[in-house]
Amino acid sequence: MSHPSQPSPVKLGQAVEVFWETFPPFWHEVRAYIRQVAVEQFDLNVEQFHILRHIRKGQGSVSEIAEAKHISRPAISQAVDVLVNKGLVRRTQNLQDRRHVSLDLTPEGNALLDAIFDQTRRRMEQMLALLNADELQALIGSMESLKKIISV
């Protein structure tokens, strides 16, 4: 006899199916909205947006971003040039090693990302507002459960 807290193989299978039917389409909607806002309101292409995100996350050199995105350094460097010209990114040369140039977001670059993420958050809230209070509470509980397995 199985322990009551152990899920059955059927329940595990159902959870996997519901996950694939739900999370990828939801994330696709969110990503599409981010792209739309970045392109239409802020004149950024998707690549430029991702570079800004990588810089904000602490990947502060062309090499680090190229490695993270699996794109050539010259391609990243070219996109960074555009972001520098738009006033969104600042290059700083290392005084000890002049070959190393760090990338930082300017206040304008940070404000632009904040605006995109704020609009995206509002859009997600609109989507989630279609749920009733009990459904929303169940979703929150499910997300908290999922956090446990990704934090392991």
- Let me know if residue 120 belongs to a domain: yes
- Let me know if residue 99 belongs to a domain: yes
- Let me know if residue 57 belongs to a domain: yes
For all residues of the chain together, what is the average pLDDT? 91
At position 65, the amino acid (one-letter code) is I
In this prediction the pTM is 0.78
The pLDDT value recorded for residue 46 is 86
pLDDT-above-70 percentage for the chain: 95
Instruction: Give the H/E segment covering residue 98.
Output: none
Domain of 146 in residue numbering reads as 9-150
How many structural domains does the chain have? 1
In terms of Cα–Cα distance, which of 37, 4, 1 is closest to 119?
Answer: 37
The pLDDT value recorded for residue 95 is 76
- Let me know if residue 33 belongs to a domain: yes
Q: How far apart are CA 69 and CA 51, in angstroms?
A: 9
The pLDDT value recorded for residue 3 is 52
pLDDT digits (tens, 9 = 90+) for 9-67: 999 999 999 999 999 999 999 999 999 999 999 999 989 999 999 999 998 889 999 99
- Kindly give the residue spans of alpha helices, DSSP state H, lying in the chain: 9-42, 46-56, 62-69, 73-85, 107-128, 133-150
Given a contact cutoff of 8 angstroms between Cβ atoms, the answer to whether 29 and 127 are in contact is yes
In the DSSP assignment, the letter for residue 60 is: -
- Let me know if residue 38 belongs to a domain: yes
Residue 103 scores a pLDDT above 90: yes
